[in-house]
Structure 1
Amino acid sequence: MKKFEIAVIPGDGIGKEVVPAALDVLQTVADVHGGIQFDWTEFPWNCDYYLEHGKMMPDNGLEILQGFDGIFLGAIGNPQLVPDHVSLWGLLIKIRREFEQVINIRPAKCMKGIRSPLVNPNDFDLIVVRENSEGEYSEIGGRIHRGEDEIAVQNAIFTRKGVERAMRYAFELAKKRRGHVTSATKSNGIFHSMPFWDEVFNDVKKDYREIESAAFHIDALAAFFVTRPQIFDVIVASNLFGDILTDLGGAIMGSIGIAPAANINLNGKYPSMFEPVHGSAPDIYGKGIANPIGQIWTAKMMLDHFGEDELGKKMLEVLEEVTADGIKTPDIGGNASTREVANEVCRRLKAL
C-alpha cells in the first residue's frame, strides 16, 4: 500500500468548491485501485486569513508544508479584499520559490465534448514546460524619482543552471511522448537573455539526438498555437513566455477552467505543488457552477508525479467520457453543476 500525505489549500473563491470535488475523485481512484491511500490535511490559508492575521500563511507555514508528499492548491486571490501582488507573493509564489519548484508544466489538448474556438483544432495535444524560478519574474530592479522623470527598472535573470534544467526536463518528457521539443525564444528582439537561451538549447539538444527539435520566436509561436497547434508536442519556455503560452493553451481548449498545472521540485528536498490555471473567479463563487475539470486534471498530474501514470491516464479517459456525453458546466456549454460533474466522474470510476 502506497500512502501519500497531501496538504490541501482550497484558497479563495471557487477553489473552495472545486478542490472538494477533485478530492472526491482522487479518493474514488484510491478506493477502486486499492493500492494507494491518501491522507488529507487542509489549511485555511487565503485572503480571509490575511485579513484576520495580516499574512497569507503563518510564519512557520513553509515548515509545516515541508513534511508533506504534495500540495494540492485551489486558487489564490480576491483583489477586492487583498491586492494580488500581496496574496500571490505571500503564498503561491512564496511556496514556488522557497520550495525550489523550478519547473512548471501545463498540458493542453483537444478534449472530447469540449468545443475549441478553433475552426479546425486537429486534435492537438501539447505540454508546455515553463522555467519557474527566474527569468522575467525576478525580484531584481527598482524605481527612482517621481513624476515625469520616474524610472522603473526590471531585470530578467537567466542562469545556465536554471535554463538547462528546464530544457533537459522538456527533452526527457518528450521521450515519453511524441519525441519533439520546441523552444520559445525571442533572440531577434531581446539582446542578451534570448541569444543565451538559444545557445543553451543548442548545447542541450546535442545530448538528445533521437529527439527532434525546433525553435520559434514567441510571437510566431503564439500565432501557431492558433493556426496549427497540432504540430507541437513539448514546448520549453521562459517564465514569462511559458505563462502567456499556457493561458493561450487554455483558451484554444475552450476554457481556462479546464487547464491544469504542476509546480515541480526536482531535488526531492521539498514537495511539489499542483494547481489549476484558472483563478479564484469570485464573481461565480457560491453559485455551484465552477468548472471542476481543471482541478480534477490537476489531480491526474499529481498521480503522474507519484508514479501512478496508469491511474492518471484512466482518470483523464473517464473525464473525457463524461464531457463527451455532455455532462459539463455552463462555461463549456453544459448545464451541470460542479458537484454533478464530479459525481459522474466518481460513478464511472467505480463502475470500472
Structure 2
Amino acid sequence: MKLHTFAWATAFALGCIAPVRAADLLGPGVISTGLQETTAALSPDGKTLLFLRSDFAEKDDTILISRRQGDGWSTPEVAPFSGQWHDSEPAFAPDGKRVYFVSNRPAHAGDSAVTAEMGGQRFAGTNLWYVERQANGRWGEPVHVDGAHNDGAMLYNPTVAANGDIYFSAHRPDSGKFYQVYVIHPAGRGYSAPERVDLGDAEHNRMDPCVDPQGRFLLYAGNEGDSLGSADIYIAFRQADGRWGKPEHLGGDVNTPALENAPTLGPHFGELYVSSNRQDEVRFPKTRDDIASLQKRLNGPQNGSRNIWRMDIAEVLKAHGLRD
C-alpha cells in the first residue's frame, strides 16, 4: 500500500534505529471492519483473540472473542463476560490464566454504574476487573480489583508483567492536564498505591501502556512533541539502574499521520498490534463508483474507523540488545 511504503521510507531516511516490517490489517472484514476495533489481546498460545469493538463515539464498548482458524479468525462473538456494561481494553496476563479489563459495571451488587467527570462532562467511568480461565476453558465470573487505582474512575488499558505489576493509563491528581502511565505492585492481598511512571515531565499526553512481560520495555500511545498525528506509538527501555530511558518514537509502518493507539504485544518476539484509523489514499479522478461499490468501500475497514494492524518490531528490540 502506497501510504505504508512512504511512511517506512520516510522513517528510514530520517534515521529510524532499526527497520519495522510492513503493517498488515488484522482479519479484514472479520476482525477489522467499518466499525471501531482496538486493543488486540492475544493468548500466549496465539489461538484466542480478544478485542474491543465500539461505535464511532466510543460510548458503547464491548469485548469480543475470536479463535484461530487456520491462517484466519472465526467470526467474533461477544465475550462471555461482556455485553452488558461498558467493557473495554482486555489484556491477558503473561501466563494466560487471567484477562484484565476495565468496566463501568458496579463494583458491588446493588451499586450504580461507575461514572467519571472531567471538564464538566460526565461519562462512563472505569474500574479494574479480571476474569480467570477455568480448567475446562470457560471463563469465570468477573472479579473487581479493589484499590486506590480506581480512584477517579478514569483507568484505561491495563497491562500485566510476569512479576504481577500492573501498568495502566489514568488521569489522577498528579497527572497534570493530560493522562499519564501508572504502575501498581502486588502488596499483601492487594496492590500498592499507584505510582506515576517517570517517562518525562507531565506536559505530554501518555496513554495505553503495554509492558513487556519481562519488564524490559514499555510501549505507549502519546505525543512527545514529534508525533506525526494526534497520537503515535513510543517505546521506552529499562535502564541498568531500573529507571526508564527516554521514550523513542517508533518509525516504519508503526506511525502515520493518522491516529495510532492501543499498542499490544503478540506471543512472538517483536509481534506488535496497533489500533489506527489510517486510510488508503483516494486519488481523483477515481474509477467511477456505482452505489454498490461506493457502499462497499465506505462500509469497509479503511473508512476512517479504527482498525487493528499487525507489525514486527523485532529489529528495533534487537538494536537495543534484546532477544526472545
- TM-score by structure 2 length? 0.31
The structure in which a higher percent of residues are helix is 1
Where relative contact order (Cα < 8 A, 6+ residues apart) is larger, the structure is 1
- TM-score by structure 1 length? 0.29
The structure in which a higher percent of residues are strand is 2
